[in-house]
Amino acid sequence: MKILIADDHDLVRETLAAFLECEPDLNVHTSEDLQSATAQIRNEGPVDLVLLDYTMPGMNGLTGLETAIKMNENRPVALMSGTAPKAIAQKALDLGAIGFLPKTMGAKSLVNAVRFMAAGDVYAPIKFMTNDSTEELNPLAKGLSVRELQVLGGLCQGLANKEIARDLELQEVTIKLHVKTLCRKLNAKNRTHAAMMAKEAGLF
């Protein structure tokens, strides 16, 4: 079974690959962005399952998902993210994704989910998808846009503005503006304080 993991963060990509490579029947390949992932598929043919990071370069929101689905000849393509809210996960499923994987999943759950999706079954964590969305449940997120939540997620990962800008395909100055707006909306002293508030509130 051939699996392609596309994620621009080396540690995440390598960790996921290491989990899956422990399974004797899984043949794991990796890419650092959407362009290299689609190039692999174009050159080597469709794979049994593609795992795409939501915020890596080339994704352009969910447009990259649609591109990958077409390139993989409608074989299973799943979205994974550590920051995307329920609304994004649901939209991805509506667009044809075979599943949505939070990056907080344990190794055993990940392997089970991969096998499930590679077999053609739609997968999404029941708790994540059936609870009210994070924006509705968590008072801290109520006044934030999806983009602001993405930036806040980046802050919680300890990413610099330049790294967040790269992940979201935005200009660094735009990220600075979002950080400033986040601090104002959250009444945070600075970016570190904003990230701390989000973590303490259980938002990420």
Q: To the nearest 5 percent, what fractions of the chain are helix, strand and coil?
A: 55, 10, 35
143 and 105 in a single domain? The answer is: no
Do both 6 and 35 map to the same domain?
yes
CA 187 to CA 179: how far, in whole Å?
A: 12
What pTM does this model have?
Answer: 0.66
pLDDT tens string, the chain, 204 residues long: the values are 999 999 988 888 888 898 899 889 999 999 999 999 999 999 999 999 999 999 888 888 789 999 999 999 989 999 998 777 788 888 899 999 999 998 777 778 888 999 999 999 999 887 677 655 444 446 777 778 778 888 888 898 888 999 888 878 789 999 999 999 999 999 999 999 998 988 777 666
Instruction: Domain count for the chain, please give it.
Output: 2
Stretch (H or E) spanning 145: none
Domain holding 25, by residue range, is 2-130
